[in-house]
Copies of this chain bind each other. A is one copy, B any other.
Amino acid sequence: MDTKAPRPRTRIQTEKRELILEAALEVFSAHGFRGSTIDQIAEAAGMSKPNLLYYFRRKEEIHETLMQRLLDTWLAPLKELDDIGDPLTELRSYIRRKLEMARDFPRESRLFANEILQGAPRIKPMLEGELKSLVDEKAEVIKGWMRAGKIVKTDPWHLIFSIWATTQHYADFDVQVRAVLGPNRGGDGRFEDAARFLEQLFVDGLKPKG
């Protein structure tokens, strides 16, 4: 009975919270959680520190909110991996979607990478629960394709890992990728080159041997 009704959000609250989260994404993804200060986030959001703390009472609260939102969008592509279409087409789409996310949401990718690198202190339960279930489920789908001879037999879990690794690499290790490719090849075209390469590696590589 004591469940105190949480006040509904004001217009200003909605807007300012969004502003703060956007700023926090920028700062956290660049410096990590401990490497970021409330002052930095506040400045990036164009407000004073106490003002920011009026909307989020603790630094961790910002990070948690950010992380929760992230996870939904982050797992969406894998959730879409369907049993209905052609296996190779499905996989190609999945890889393309993941690569597009690395291109369009590099900060989200780095925020996630940061969290995992530090041992995933805040999202380990989610990894062992929700994520594991989802991957196990999709691994079964892939196994079905293998049994049906639609793609070559291999380990579905490590296949998924390698898709994650290769695509997210272009967001998380962007500085390195650009440095190695140099000013010419490291420009905007690098994602198309990557898409072509990954498609060849995975899709051609998984085609059943004629």
Contacts and interface: CB of A to CB of B under 8 A. Distances in A.
A135 to B, nearest CB: 5
A72 B73 CA distance: 38
A177 interface: yes
A205 interface: yes
A161 B193 CA distance: 12
A173 B131 CA distance: 14
B180 A173 contact: no
A173 to B, nearest CB: 5
Mostly helix, strand, loop or mixed at chain A's interface? helix
A110 interface: yes
A157 B33 CA distance: 32
Nearest to A111: B117
Interface in A21-50: 30-35
A114 interface: yes
A183 to B, nearest CB: 9
A58 interface: no
Given A113-B117, A114-B117, A127-B179, A162 B158 contact: no
Contact of A158 (B34, B131, B197): B197
12 contacts: A30-B119, A31-B34, A127-B180, A128-B179, A132-B180, A154-B200, A159-B197, A162-B169, A165-B169, A201-B201, A204-B205, A205-B205
3 closest A-B pairs by beta carbon, nearest first, are: A205-B205, A34-B35, A165-B169
